[in-house]
Amino acid sequence: MSAQAHHADWLDFVRTLEPASVDFLYADPPFNTGKRRASPPGAADAGRTADASYADSWPDTDAWLAWLEERLAATIPAIKPTGLICLHVDWRTCHRARVLLEDHLLSPDHFVNHLVWTYGLGGSSPRRFARKHDDLLLYAIDPALYWFEPPMVPATSNRMRGELKKATDVLDIPAINNMANERTGYPTQKPLALLDLLVRACCPPGGTVLDPCCGSGTALVAAVMGGRSAVGCDATEHAVEVAHGRLAEVGRTGPTGAPRVP
């Protein structure tokens, strides 16, 4: 399957896409943390390929929402009636993003799932419960037509030991640890196991995945390894270079299948 990563702004890029050409939109935009996100010091010395940074700050949440709304509105025409949208956000903007999707761009009838990705890495605070999850909002272009294949994960109960069960809306997948082979050094890189699960569940075999904030290219890699095509873009030039390198490696090894959720 083919995959392409382009150095471009989300808004400019999606305006070049053919109408109804995308099966699954996975968008992992900046979270508006108010900080500049950058590869950790020493990433290159540790053999990582990334040396990237990007601004993750807007004047306020309203400005971030206006930025996001313009891009989502321009992208929706490129998605097939059978397609799904997955918007990856966190506690800062999740509630506002859901209102945006349901009151401005689609409607509550298009809602499919509010997924919680729970992970173990990161710090904690003596002033609140530790924040250890991201929010993934899943919406259908046409609630009656969308394609979906429930992902299967290992059962945890004694009664079903050794069997598989359908995944719930809480995805317990570890974040990438510092020693993982898949780590590129790119800031906010998501684990391949997470994108593998989402792509296989939300995009039909042979379909096309779009990631307009592709970063180091994890969604694109998961798509190719899962027998899908992929297209993506990122406003950071070095991120696209890293994505190109990862896609080239997949091309050398072949689509043997991404790692399953343990």
The 10s digit of each residue's pLDDT in 143-152 is: 999 999 999 9
Average pLDDT score over residue span 62-69: 97
* DSSP per residue, 173-208: -PPPPTT-TT--S-TTPPPHHHHHHHHHHHS-TT-E
Q: How far apart are CA 188 and CA 40, in angstroms?
A: 11
Phi then psi for 208, rounded to 5 degrees?
-120, 130
Q: How far apart are CA 90 and CA 71, in angstroms?
A: 18
Specify the pLDDT at position 156: 86
Q: How many CB atoms lie within 10 A of CB 41?
A: 8
Report residue 63 as tokens.
């400005």
Specify the pLDDT at position 251: 82
* Total-model pTM: 0.91
Is pLDDT of 122 > 90?
no
Specify the pLDDT at position 258: 40
Single out the residue of 112, 77, 82, 84 nearest to residue 199, CA to CA: 84
- Which carries the bigger pLDDT value, residue 40 or residue 126? 126
pLDDT (tens digit per residue) in 99-114: 999 999 999 999 999 9
Which stretches of 84-236 are DSSP H helices? Answer: 94-100, 192-202, 218-225
Report residue 184 as tokens.
């590129």
| 166: β partners | 152
Taking 3-state DSSP, the helix, strand and coil percentages for the chain, each rounded to the nearest 5, stand at 30, 25, 45
Residue 179 to residues 45, 138, 147, 176, 257: CA-CA distances in angstroms?
13, 31, 36, 8, 21
- Judge contact between 230 and 3, C-beta under 8 A: yes
Specify the pLDDT at position 50: 58
Specify the pLDDT at position 76: 98
pLDDT (tens digit per residue) in 219-255: 999 999 999 999 999 999 989 999 999 999 998 655 5
Average pLDDT score over residue span 68-87: 98
CA atoms within 13 A on the CB side of 157: 4
- Which carries the bigger pLDDT value, residue 258 or residue 148? 148
- What order of strands is seen across the sheet that includes strand 208-211? 3-7, 229-234, 208-211, 22-27, 79-89, 133-140, 111-118, 170-172
Report residue 256 as tokens.
């043997």
pLDDT (tens digit per residue) in 166-179: 999 999 999 998 78
Q: Which domains does the chain have, with CATH numbers?
A: 3-253 (3.40.50.150)
> For residue 185, what are the contacts with CB-CB under 8 A and spacing of at least 6?
39, 40, 43, 44, 46, 48, 49, 50, 51
Is pLDDT of 44 > 70?
no
Residue type at 117 in one-letter notation? W
Specify the pLDDT at position 147: 98
Average pLDDT score over residue span 60-79: 97
**Ranges 1-15, 52-66, 245-259: which has the least confidence:** 245-259
Residue-averaged pLDDT of the chain = 90
> For residue 221, what are the contacts with CB-CB under 8 A and spacing of at least 6?
3, 192, 195, 246, 247, 250, 258
Q: How far apart are CA 191 and CA 161, in angstroms?
A: 26
